[in-house]
Chains A and B, each alone.
Chain A
Amino acid sequence: MTLPKFSRRTFLSTSAALAAGAAFGPLPARAAGGMTVGFIYVGPKDDFGYNQAHAEGAAAVAAMDGVTIVEEENVAETTDVQKSMESMINFDGASLIFPTSFGYFDPHVLEVAPKYPDVRFEHAAGLWTEGMPSNIGSYFGYIGMGQYLNGITAGHMTASKKIGFVAAKPIPQVLLNINSFLLGARAVDPSITCQVIFTGEWSLAVKEAEATNALADAGCDVITCHVDGPKVVMETAAGRGCYICGYHADQSPLAPEKYLTGAEWNWAGVYPKMVQTMLDGGTIPNFLRGGLADGFVKMSPLGPAVTDAARTQFEATKAEIMKGGFQVIKGPLKDNKGNEIAGAGEGFAEDDIRLESMDYLVEGVIGATS
């Protein structure tokens, strides 16, 4: 069956919007002269993880004068997200949308954005490149530095000299986190190794628990992760008597005695600035990045178990990173297959674009990317 070039969804939403417009006059959000911002999450917004971090940013935006937010949770990385974006635009009058999940970008944001040139799309993760529609922006934080600091506390606290990482998928940002975690620990003791287990999915509770148990069985005694909702990993690891380092958001309430520190997003410090830029009539840069110093990323307060030696090195390194230009990936460094990553004197600062195409695990990480 072939249909003429005609999108039923566009037709329906347009005609419904027209009908609503005829019945109630202009939509309220637009009528108030304010701005409506839409947030779309791939999971629940209180998952102690990725989505919660974004939702905390959304809450900070909601507190601004003249700004209304609309949120939708559990939106799959399928055409569902296109539907959500279009309905936020057409029915809620959103002029700025944050589709927060990695997989929303290609092809969904890329497909919807050209249809709505007046709407701004801001996507987390560094996927925007020159030549893509200019109403799309991509922003991200250098959270690998946070994992480096996690690694420093882990390096002090591990007795077995083996630390563990539960990872979702071997994409560059995850690999950078794993490598940074190990290199942080090796800054304390170069004999430390890091076992990584990939679960293959962003959110799979049973597999994450199994992976955490496997790490504990292998002798890892400090564990961190990069999955969407770290709750299961944190609780399972603490239950096995391991120390834990958080990720995405503050997980210390889950196991306060075992929690060392955590690498957190600070979207509550970033989103209001982006929205303010638009309210002032400015344009958000298409390519926006920041680290600890810029307030994109923050660390959880150090837990009660952290020793004084760990605290001292943690604070000193953090101060070093805040100055800018700090290099986690620096030579001489090999990957875990023996290939050279960086020669002596060579290094990558956090904003080095080459880090965003990382495809290796450094020497000392036990695991493979495929």
Chain B
Amino acid sequence: METDLGLWAVPIAMLGGAIRVSTPILFVSLGETLTERSGRINLGLEGTLVFGAMSGYALAVMTGSPWLGVIAAAITGALFGLVHGLICSLPKVNDIAIGIAMMLLGMGLAFYFGKPFIQPVAPDLPAIPLGWWSDLPQVRAALQVNVLFLIGLVAAGVLWWMLKATKIGLTLRVVGDSTDAARALGLTPSLVRTLATAAGGAFAGIGGAYLSLYYPGSWNEGISSGQGLMAVALVIFARWNPIACVGAAMLFGAAGALGPALQTIGVSSGYYLFYAAPYVLTLGVLIATSSPTQALSGAPGELSINK
């Protein structure tokens, strides 16, 4: 039935892992890119991700439609973003502290409301079998591509274009780089930032729906295990560029598949070390691309980490 692939199993598994695992990380990092480009950091996206996973799963269980679940997750995510944005618009409020509070709030609420939904089984989001051309079951399994992953790719392209070439993008960048310049242009920085945070929250909510409705595809309290936080960190890694977010998220997903894949081909000692691969990789790239002489390139000027 199945064929032994030998060493080829590892790259195929990493490709599959990149496609399966990257989607929530991609959505959260896209959302965070949007928010940070406006000059604010929302660390609460881990909470938004978890709440999105819960609300998406709950609605899919109740209505039988996973897509309604995705929409619900996006809406609740936007609400979380809105709350963060509004609170941070008050004078002398630190966005990082509020982000941490929102993260804990989101997780707490998700655990509370999610209690009755741990047992029921929700319908899964559909996947497109892009591996039909191959006879190998491993390749076919790796190329089961979820629709949300494709939407994420398109969204990355659109965001990139929007930031670069549209008036909305320009507004966002001005607000993110200099509050004073934005004011002089007659813009309202706090409004722009609040909307950008809400949009970023919606992205994170959709990422959560992917977790609970496709992969791993069930709601429980440990579903995210910190992916939202990693994704926020990946934004720096991707230099606030939506296209680079795709690469960063896929690299992270592929590195995550390395540990299990190596165990199946017989490299089984030191698996704790392989499980740390994504983090080691991130550290390595950050060190390699850092510069002792200048600040992070591409960082929005108004980010509180730059001040």
Q: Is the CB of B141 within 8 A of A235?
A: no
CA distance A229 to B119 in the complex (A): 11
B122 CB to closest chain A CB (Å) equals 11
Could you tell me the distance between the alpha carbons of A281 and B164 in the complex, rounded to whole angstroms? 77
CB-defined contacts of B211 to chain A, threshold 8 Å: 205-206
Residue in contact with A231 in the complex, picked from B5, B220, B263, CB distance below 8 Å: B220
Is residue B266 contacting chain A, with contact meaning CB distance below 8 A? yes
Q: Is the CB of A44 within 8 A of B220?
A: yes
Interface of A is mostly: mixed
Assess whether A200 is in contact with B271, with CB atoms less than 8 Å apart.
yes
Annotate B1-41 by CB proximity to A: 1 below 8 A, 0 otherwise: 11111000100110011001100000000000000000000
Question: Is A236's CB within 8 Å of the partner chain B?
Answer: yes
Chain A nearest CB from B154 CB (Å) reads 24
Question: Is there an interface contact between A229 and B220, defined as CB atoms closer than 8 Å?
Answer: yes
Are B217 and A210 in contact (CB-based, < 8 A)? no
Q: Is B134 an interface residue (CB 8 A)?
A: no
CB of B106 closer than 8 Å to a CB of A: no
* Across-interface contacts of B20 in A (CB, < 8 A): 209-210, 213
- Contact of A236 with B221 at beta-carbon distance under 8 Å, contacts A214-B257, A217-B9, A217-B141 already known: no
Complex alpha-carbon distance, A253 and B141, angstroms: 24
Instruction: Assess whether A219 is interfacial by the CB under 8 Å rule.
Output: yes
> Bound complex: CA of A149 vs CA of B16, how far in Å?
33
* Proximity string of chain A (211-227) to chain B, C-beta cutoff 8 Å, 1 when within and 0 when not: 10111111101000000
Tally of chain B residues near chain A (CB < 8 A): 47
Chain A nearest CB from B150 CB (Å) reads 20
Cβ-defined contact, B260 with A210, below 8 A: yes
* B115 close to A44 (CB less than 8 A): yes
The answer to whether A217 touches B221, judged by C-beta atoms less than 8 angstroms apart, is: no
CA distance A207 to B253 in the complex (A): 11
In the complex formed, the residue of A with least CB distance to B227 is A206
Q: How far is the CB of A103 from chain B (nearest CB, A)?
A: 15
Cα distance A232–B221 in the bound complex, in angstroms: 12
Instruction: Please tell me which stretch of A16-24, A106-114, A338-346, A362-370 contacts chain B, meaning at least 4 of its Cβ atoms lie within 8 angstroms of it.
Output: A362-370
User: Which residue on B lies nearest to A232, using beta carbons?
Assistant: B216
A217 / chain B contacts, CB cutoff of 8 Å: 2, 5, 9, 12-13, 16, 137-138, 141-142, 261, 264
Q: Which residues of chain A in 213-270 are interfacial with respect to chain B, using CB atoms and an 8 Å cutoff?
A: 213-219, 221, 229, 231-232, 235-236, 239-240, 253-254
Question: Are B111 and A214 interface neighbours, CB within 8 A?
Answer: no
Other-chain residue from A196, A205, A208, A216 in contact with B141 (beta carbon distance below 8 A): A216
* Complex: A47 Cα to B138 Cα, angstroms: 30
B133 within 8 A of A: no
What separation, in Å, do the CA atoms of A160 and B259 have in the docked complex? Answer: 23
Q: Give residues of chain B (251-279) contacting chain A, Cβ–Cβ below 8 Å.
A: 256-257, 259-261, 263-266, 268-272, 275
Measured CB to CB, the residues of B under 8 A from A are 1-5, 9, 12-13, 16-17, 20-21, 111, 115, 118-119, 121, 137-138, 141-142, 211, 215-218, 220-223, 225, 227, 256-257, 259-261, 263-266, 268-272, 275
